[in-house]
């Protein structure tokens, strides 16, 4: 039974510098990196390769000791040039210098009609080996799915409502077949349904239409309407002991291509966007692309912050850093490390606020005004004071403040009772944005999830 | 303004760890963050941009919302003095908003404001230094609330003492701003009421400054008059009110204790609470800015009206028969509803809870007024009482949420 869900709560952060739907003709980055830290829940990454080794696209580079079958594969062919390690020899980045022509590891290919006859076990084996398994994220906890589980449903959000988010329909243009096969493969893993969730306010792209045997749900409302966690909450909420898998549309198409073309195809379009980008647009590159080439000659200033992903849930990366495994957006915003005289009380229209307290006049600008926000926190951390605000940006039947307090006090029973299984960081990211007391809410949520998972 | 920031920054090493004044870092930090929005940037993970709101700005919004009450209070202290001593014989705009009233009012009100800010500020700084936490901007609000809820005749040392008590016992022993169970300003006032009852009840509401009032003057508040009328059985409360101080001029027309004059606020009382109208202006600011919960404000008034109506129906004595809407303009209900009940820390924190919390405050206030003749004003005790019960209300609201979730669990 497909559903249309209207969400009223939430908040759209309308940032300047949205990526234009065209593809830049820059040459792709020369180096790419795999960052074990991108894979949440990865405990003990083990390397298959050493510096100087040659790899093909699809050659396993590392795996997690706790989940030995799921390979993390090289996105490109080339040479391993550096294994960057941090404190306690923790692996931070495995850098690969790409060949001019990408060579691929070959996996078995299937025709569309073969796919039906393929068993779950065979599909699973190929996905684990072919590097596409980490696209499958398990709820609760938001970690890479365990191949031994059978989820009660699989959710795909066909749109991203985060600020400056890349448009999946544009990214996957012409990949209808791959997406379709990806969905067919995913169907094998659940006895329940595969849900594909659309933005009710936009036309459904051909990539996401005409799929059979799945549920098409529509979501209407401000961000976080595109968050798969919010969608699950309204369509098929997770209770204790239940498991749901989520995959983003890029991941679905990548799974499809592994079976259709027999290769781990890590090529992707990455949106480079934000107020500091001169010509925000899409770049054709591969997973784990180096930042330098993406922004070369395309910046308005050099005092900027690079963010792999969006400004709500992303991670700051260095100017010689790499875009993360799951990200298809590089946000570039001004660094906000300047003090502002009486900035705490000065009337402002240019700094976006969800609130309307004294002097915060951004609400007068209307919804179409685009903001160039910097990374300043606009205040210092304080104890929780204001109440009732988090609920306004959380379109779920959850009390965020109570949940956060339960996590902070490591109260397992209450965390569970208050709905920790239904959220991951991104679902409460807006709370962190609007928080008067400037808490690091997303990291609190992750702490809670880790406590629940590992005790 | 860069030179100012450079100057501040130059002093930084003195106050940082290992510096000469390391202990006073919080003081330096308070100064710096007061002058400048700090250059703090978002962390590596999590949100990379933050909302423009800041706790200081939120607190200042409440202070700004109180300014109409404060300004009215200053003029009114002057007006009450001159009208009680017979120097004002006709009303009107010019009779109220004039320099004499302003100067007289300022002479008595500003020292009280100062005493509250200085005493409370010292406690905040001391605790900040001892416990090494930043100075809480919550005090911006408390420091202004306390002067507005005391009579203009209060000795300054009592203001200081009550503020210290309120901040220490009401807030700091629980862990500071955000952790307190009771409203700090109400705690301070309750302390005054129980420790020095003679200075905060009876005929203390007009600052006569040693001058003799006109013949037949009564310094009692409308609530006290209502109660006396009810006990003596001499007609209705509304009649009793219209006879009291009938020789005095209400600044904007009507009898001295007419509904109209009580609504506008030309009556004796605590400095900031006499004018229901100004409290409503404050309410508008708080609601428009979203800083105060409109649900609490509306439900306090609704609760008071409902309770007033119930008493009308019971009608056992004249006080019970007071028209329900009179309860809005008596005493401090409006001020308390707008500025005390909405304190987000001590109020209910769930949205459903806020309705219940507010309504019970309104009902309790009227209940205390009408049924407990020993202390006719009820809003203070009602707010404190409901502060204590707010977590219980929230508990049941949250419990219902948990039950909904449990109902879908399979294990």
CB contact under 8 A, B345 and A388: no
| A386, closest residue in chain B (CA to CA) | B344
In angstroms, the separation between the Cα of residue B108 and the nearest Cα of chain A is 29
Does A383 have pLDDT greater than 90?
no
Pair (A129, A254) in one structural domain: yes
Task: Look up the CATH number of the domain holding residue A254.
Answer: 3.40.50
Taking the C-alpha atoms of residue B62 and residue B58, their distance in angstroms, rounded to an integer, is 7
Let me know whether A252 and A183 are in one domain.
yes
Confidence band for A41, pLDDT divided at 50, 70 and 90: confident
Matching residue, tokens 């905040």 = B124
* A221 domain-assigned: yes
Q: Which of A260, A279, A310 is the last residue of a domain?
A: A260
Distance CA B358, CA B347 (A): 9
Q: Does A180 fall in a domain?
A: yes
Tell me whether residues A356 and B289 touch, CB distance under 8 A.
Answer: yes
Please tell me the distance from the alpha carbon of residue B369 to that of residue B336, in angstroms, as a whole number: 14
Q: Do residues A131 and A192 both lie within one domain? A: yes
Q: Is A95 helix (H, G, I), strand (E, B) or coil?
A: strand
Tokens at residue B386, please?
């409901």
Q: Which pLDDT does position B7 carry in this prediction? A: 76
| pLDDT reported for residue A102 | 93
d(CA A86, nearest CA chain B) in Å = 16
Chunked mean pLDDT (size 10), chain B, 411 residues: 73 76 76 78 91 91 96 96 90 90 96 96 89 81 94 95 94 87 94 91 88 88 86 84 88 88 92 95 96 96 96 90 92 94 94 96 94 79 95 96 83 54
Average pLDDT score, chain A: 93
CA–CA distance, B332 with B336 (Å, rounded to integer) = 6
Question: Residue B254 has what pLDDT?
Answer: 85
| Same domain, yes or no: A112 and A175 | yes
pLDDT for residue A43 = 86
Task: Report pLDDT for A340.
Answer: 82
Radius of gyration of chain A from its Cα atoms, rounded to whole angstroms: 22
Per-residue burial over A375-384, b if 16 or more Cβ lie within 10 Å, else e, is bbbbbbebbb
Confidence of residue A145 (pLDDT cuts 50, 70, 90): very high
Distance from CA of A347 to the nearest CA of B (A): 10
Q: Is the pTM of this model over 0.95?
A: no
Which residues are within 8 A (CB) of B98 and not within 5 positions of it... i.e. 6 or more apart? none
Dump pLDDT digits (tens) for A249-266.
999 999 999 999 999 999
Q: Are residues A11 and A43 in the same domain?
A: no
Segment 139-198 of chain A within 8 Å of chain B by CB:
none
Residues in chain B: 411
Interface residue B39 vs chain A (CB under 8 A): yes
CB–CB of B102/B79 below 8 Å? Answer: no
Average pLDDT over residues A173-184: 94
Cβ–Cβ gap B52/A378 under 8 Å:
yes
φ, ψ of residue A37 in degrees (nearest 5): -70, -15
Are A196 and A226 found together in one domain?
yes
In a domain, A91, yes or no: yes
The model's pLDDT over A126-140, given as tens digits with 9 standing for 90+, comes to 999 999 999 999 999
Count of CA atoms in the C-beta half-sphere (13 A) of B36: 20
Question: Does A305 reside within a domain?
Answer: no
Domain extent for A68 = 31-102
Q: Looking at residue B411, what is its pLDDT?
A: 54
Pair A55, A139 in one domain = no
Tell me whether residues B178 and A437 touch, CB distance under 8 A: yes
Confidence of residue A1 (pLDDT cuts 50, 70, 90): low
Domain map of chain B by residue range?
2-35, 55-200, 222-395
Q: How many domains does chain A have?
A: 2
Q: Is residue A92 part of a domain?
A: yes
Size of the A and B interface in Cβ pairs below 8 Å:
224
Structure tokens at B88: 């004002």
pLDDT of B1 reads 63
Tokens of B264: 């506008």
Q: What is the mean pLDDT of residues A88-112?
A: 93
Do A163 and A60 fall within a single domain?
A: no
Q: Are A316 and A306 in contact (CB under 8 A)?
A: yes
Instruction: State the smallest CA–CA distance between residue A382 and chain B in angstroms.
Output: 8
Q: How many residues does chain A have?
A: 455
The A residues from 334 to 373 touching B (CB cutoff 8 Å) are 335-345, 348, 351-360, 362, 373
Looking only at the bridges linking them, the beta strands covering A45-47 and A20-23 are: unpaired
The verdict on A212 and A93 lying in the same domain is no
CATH number at residue A55: 2.40.50
Q: What is the mean pLDDT of residues A317-327?
A: 94
d(CA A131, CA A148): 17
Q: Is the pLDDT of residue A163 over 90?
A: yes
Torsion of CA A394, A398, A401, A407, to 10 degrees: -120
Q: How far apart are CA B236 and CA B229, in angstroms?
A: 7
SS3 A168: helix
CA distance A424 to A230: 10
Instruction: Answer with the one of A102, A129, A155 that is the final residue of a domain.
Output: A102
CB-based contact A385:B58 (threshold 8 Å): yes
Nearest to B36 among A237, A341, A384 (CB): A341
Chain A residues inside the 8 Å CB shell of B346? none
Element (H, E) at A431: helix A429-434
Tell me which chain B residue has its CA closest to the CA of residue A337: B39
Domain end point (choices A241, A260, A279): A260
Is there a single domain that holds both residue A53 and residue A126? no
Per DSSP bridges, beta strands A281-286 and A20-23 are parallel
Residue A193 falls within a domain, yes or no?
Answer: yes
Interface of B with A in 137-166 (CB under 8 A): 137-138
Interface test with B, best of A313, A314, A379, A412 (most B CBs within 10 A): A379
Contacts 24+ apart (CB under 8 A), A41-48: A41/A141, A41/A142, A41/A143, A41/A144, A41/A453, A42/A66, A42/A67, A42/A144, A45/A72, A45/A91, A47/A83, A47/A91, A47/A94
Where does residue A347 rank: exposed (0-12), middle (13-18), buried (19+ CB within 10 A)? exposed
Give the pLDDT score at B410: 62
Q: Side by side, which strands form the sheet with A153-157?
A: A4-6, A215-220, A193-199, A153-157, A244-246, A137-139, A143-144
DSSP string, A114-163: HHHH--HHHHHHHHHHTT-GGG-EEETTTEEPPTT---SEEEEES---ST
Q: Measured between beta carbons, which residues in chain B are less than 8 angstroms from residue A441?
A: 46
Q: Say yes or no: A98 and A120 in one domain.
A: no
pLDDT (0 to 100) of residue B245: 87
Residues A140 and A255 occupy one common structural domain? yes
Nearest to B144 by CA among B104, B180, B188, B182: B188
Question: Rounded to whole angstroms, how far apart are CA atoms B379 and B331?
Answer: 8
Q: How close A454 gets to chain B, by Cα (Å)?
A: 19
Its sign, for the CA torsion B282, B283, B288, B290, is positive
Query: What pLDDT shows up at residue B407?
Result: 83
């Amino acid at each position: 039974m497909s559903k249309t869900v209207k969400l009223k709560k939430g908040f759209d952060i309308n940032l300047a510098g949205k990526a234009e739907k065209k593809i830049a003709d820059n040459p792709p980055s020369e180096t790419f990196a795999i960052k074990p830290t991108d894979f949440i829940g990865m405990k003990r990454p083990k390397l298959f390769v050493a510096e100087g080794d040659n790899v093909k696209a699809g050659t396993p580079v590392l795996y997690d000791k706790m989940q030995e079958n799921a390979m993390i594969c090289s996105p490109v062919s080339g040479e391993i040039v550096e294994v960057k390690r941090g404190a306690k020899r923790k692996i931070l980045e495995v850098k690969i210098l790409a060949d001019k022509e990408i060579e691929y590891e070959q996996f078995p290919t299937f025709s569309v009609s073969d796919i039906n006859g393929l068993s779950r076990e065979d599909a699973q084996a190929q996905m684990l080996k072919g590097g596409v398994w980490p696209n499958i994220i398990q709820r609760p906890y938001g970690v890479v799915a365990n191949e031994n589980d059978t989820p009660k449903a699989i959710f795909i959000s066909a749109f991203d409502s985060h600020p400056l988010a890349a448009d999946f329909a544009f990214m996957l243009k012409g990949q209808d077949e791959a997406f379709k096969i990806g969905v067919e493969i995913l169907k094998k893993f659940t006895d329940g349904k595969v849900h594909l969730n659309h933005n009710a306010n936009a036309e459904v792209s051909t990539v996401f239409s005409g799929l059979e045997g799945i549920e098409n749900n529509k979501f209407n409302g401000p961000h976080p309407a595109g968050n798969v966690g919010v969608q699950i909450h309204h369509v098929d909420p997770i209770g204790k002991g239940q498991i749901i898998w989520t995959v983003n549309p890029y991941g679905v198409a990548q799974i499809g291509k592994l079976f259709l073309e027999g290769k781990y195809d890590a090529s992707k379009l990455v949106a480079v966007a934000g107020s500091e980008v001169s010509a925000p647009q899409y770049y054709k590159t591969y997973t784990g692309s180096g930042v330098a080439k993406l922004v070369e000659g395309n910046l308005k200033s050099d005092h900027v912050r690079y963010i792999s992903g969006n400004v709500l849930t992303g991670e700051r990366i260095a100017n010689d850093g790499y875009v993360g495994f799951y990200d298809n957006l590089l946000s570039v915003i001004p660094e906000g490390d300047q003090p502002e005289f009486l900035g705490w009380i000065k009337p402002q229209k240019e700094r976006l606020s969800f609130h309307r307290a004294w002097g915060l006049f951004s609400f007068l600008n209307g919804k179409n005004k685009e903001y160039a926000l910097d990374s300043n926190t606009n205040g210092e951390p304080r104890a929780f004071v204001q109440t009732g605000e988090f609920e306004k940006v959380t379109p779920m039947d959850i009390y965020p403040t109570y949940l956060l307090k339960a996590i902070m006090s490591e109260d397992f029973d209450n965390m569970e009772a208050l709905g920790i299984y239904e959220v991951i960081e991104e679902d409460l990211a807006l709370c962190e944005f609007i928080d008067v007391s400037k808490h690091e809410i997303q990291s609190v949520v992750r702490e809670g999830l880790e406590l629940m998972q590992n005790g | 303004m860069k030179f100012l920031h450079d100057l501040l920054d130059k002093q930084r090493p003195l106050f940082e760890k290992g510096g000469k004044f390391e202990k006073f870092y919080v003081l330096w930090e308070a100064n710096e963050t007061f002058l400048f929005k700090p250059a703090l940037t978002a962390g590596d993970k999590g949100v990379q941009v933050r909302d423009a709101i800041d706790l200081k700005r939120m607190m200042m919004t409440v202070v700004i919302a109180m300014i109409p009450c404060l300004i009215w209070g200053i003029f009114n202290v002057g007006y009450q003095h001159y009208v009680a001593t017979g120097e004002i014989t006709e009303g009107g705009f010019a009779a109220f908003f004039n320099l004499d009233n302003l100067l007289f009012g300022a002479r008595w009100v500003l020292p009280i404001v100062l005493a509250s800010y200085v005493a409370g500020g010292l406690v905040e700084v001391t605790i900040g230094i001892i416990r090494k936490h930043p100075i809480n901007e919550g005090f911006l609000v408390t420091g202004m609330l306390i002067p507005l809820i005391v009579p203009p005749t209060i000795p300054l040392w009592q203001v200081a003492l009550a503020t210290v008590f309120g901040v220490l016992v009401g807030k700091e022993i629980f862990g500071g701003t955000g952790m307190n169970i009771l409203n700090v300003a109400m705690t301070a006032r309750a302390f005054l009421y129980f420790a020095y009852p003679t200075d905060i009840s009876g005929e203390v509401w007009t600052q006569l400054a040693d001058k003799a009032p006109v013949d037949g003057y009564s310094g009692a508040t409308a609530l006290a008059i209502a109660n006396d009328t009810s006990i003596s059985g001499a007609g209705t409360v509304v009649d009793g009110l219209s006879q009291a101080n009938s020789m005095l001029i209400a600044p904007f027309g009507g009898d001295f204790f007419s509904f109209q004059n009580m609504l506008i606020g030309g009556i004796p009382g605590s400095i900031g609470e006499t004018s229901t109208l100004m409290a409503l202006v404050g309410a508008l600011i708080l609601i428009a800015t979203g800083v105060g919960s409109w649900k609490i404000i509306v439900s306090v008034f609704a609760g008071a009206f409902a309770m007033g109506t119930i008493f009308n129906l019971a009608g056992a004595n004249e006080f019970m028969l007071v028209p329900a809407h009179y309860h809005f303009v008596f005493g401090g209900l409006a001020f308390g509803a707008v500025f005390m009940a909405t304190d987000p820390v001590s109020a209910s924190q769930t949205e459903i809870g806020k309705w219940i919390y507010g309504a019970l405050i309104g009902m309790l206030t009227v209940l205390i007024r009408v049924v407990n003749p020993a202390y006719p004003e009820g809003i203070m005790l009602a707010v404190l009482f409901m502060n204590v019960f707010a977590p219980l209300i929230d508990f049941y609201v949250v419990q219902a949420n948990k039950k909904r979730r449990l109902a879908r669990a399979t294990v």
